[in-house]
Amino acid sequence: MTEKTALTPATHTTPPAKFSHGVKKGNILQVAGQVGFLPAVEGQAPTPAGPTLREQTLQTLANVRAILEEGGATWDDAMMIRVYLTDVDHFAEMNAIYNAYFEEQGLKEAPAARTTVYVGLPKGLLIEIDALAVLS
């Protein structure tokens, strides 16, 4: 049986509860929901990238990417991306940011994706993204 490995990149804080930022087992890598916190600074509380959806979306994608890379994956290995927004009015803006980001990344084939509105994020956070990757 393949071992399960927890993934926490150096850019991320230690999770506040018993969970991992990502988990890899065999060729499957699940990235837990990530938000737009800037890279961790020892002794400081997590800080959002900024108040705008753009700032938070780009940082959130960077945080997901860091976990993918920690597990030996790339965006091209992503099979599913789930986006959670706190405001239904952010759909169009997020889609534009998302499309431009992945165009810049040179993504060969787009993963399956879904977006939903979720109001349970901590105050000030506008977006959360998780991903499922299968490594070749």
Q: What is the pLDDT of residue 24?
A: 97
Q: What is the pLDDT of residue 13?
A: 85
122: Cα within 13 Å, side-chain hemisphere: 9
Q: What is the full per-residue pLDDT of the chain (136 aa) written as tens digits?
A: 789 999 999 899 888 788 899 999 999 999 999 999 999 888 888 999 999 999 999 999 999 999 999 999 999 999 999 999 999 999 999 999 999 999 999 998 999 999 999 888 988 999 999 999 999 8
Q: What is the pLDDT of residue 88?
A: 95
Q: What is the pLDDT of residue 25?
A: 97
- Report yes or no: 65 and 78 within 8 Å, Cβ to Cβ: no
The CA distance from 71 to 58, in Å, is 20
Burial of residue 10, with CB atoms counted within 10 A of its CB: 0-12 exposed, 13-18 middle, 19 or more buried:
exposed
Report angle CA 105, 7, 83 to the nearest 5 degrees: 50
Q: What is the pLDDT of residue 136?
A: 84
Q: What is the pLDDT of residue 15?
A: 80
Q: What is the pLDDT of residue 114?
A: 94
Beta strands in 10-126 (DSSP E): 22-25, 28-34, 78-85, 112-117
Q: What is the pLDDT of residue 45?
A: 87
Strand (E) or helix (H) holding 4: strand 4-7
Q: What is the pLDDT of residue 43?
A: 86
The pTM (predicted TM-score) of the whole model is 0.95
What is 109-135 written as a DSSP string? SPPEEEEEE---SPTT--EEEEEEEE-
